[in-house]
Structures are given as C-alpha cells and as structure tokens.
Amino acid sequence: RNQIDRSLSVNKLQLSKLEKLVKENGEIENEKTKILQELLGLMDQIKSEANLIQIAGQELQSIVKVNDQVVLGPHMKSHDYLLKIKNHGKNIEVLVQRFNTLNRKIREETVQ
C-alpha cells in the first residue's frame, strides 16, 4: 500500500512537471507566431515604403530638364519629391531595425 502511494505521488509530480513543460512550450510557440506575424507585417510596410519611394522617384525623373539637371527650390515640386524620398527612406530604416531586432529574437528563442 505504501509503495503504491509513493508511486502515485511520484507519478503526479512527474505529470505536473510535464504539464508545466507543455504549457511553457505552448507559450514559446505563441510568442514565435506573434513575432512571425509582426515580421510579415513589417515586410509589407517596407514594400509599401519602397513603392512610395519608387513613385516619388518616377515623378522626380519626369521633371528632369533636357540637360539632365534638376532645379531645386523650397517651393518647387522637385524639392517635395526629394523630401518624400528622404522621409520614406527614414521610415524604411526604422522598419528594418525593428525587423532585425525581431529576427534576432526569434533566432535566440529557436536556439533555446
């Protein structure tokens, strides 16, 4: 009788340890899924910003003069297009930094 009680006690302890491990693994997988979803969202945002840069670049190219020079001034369209390109470029830098941070984080969790 005592041996059976001890065996049951040991089995319950092992079962609770296994349940804890399963729960932790589930939480890790949920975290990985969230990170992967955010990475996909960041990739879409980066593509969108790149498209906006391309559009602004095409608009800028359309106003290039015959001698391939662009005249810039504070109230000229060419200035606006360059500002758009610069701002979208900064946005891409921020998005890429966040992407790299998440990518590192998911690699570290995969190694563990």
Render pLDDT for 41-100 as a digit per residue (tens, 0 to 9). 999 999 999 999 999 988 888 876 656 666 667 777 888 888 999 999 999 999 999 999
In terms of pTM, does the model score above 0.95?
Answer: no
| 72 DSSP assignment | -
pLDDT score for 88: 94
- Assess contact for 56 and 88: CB atoms under 8 A: yes
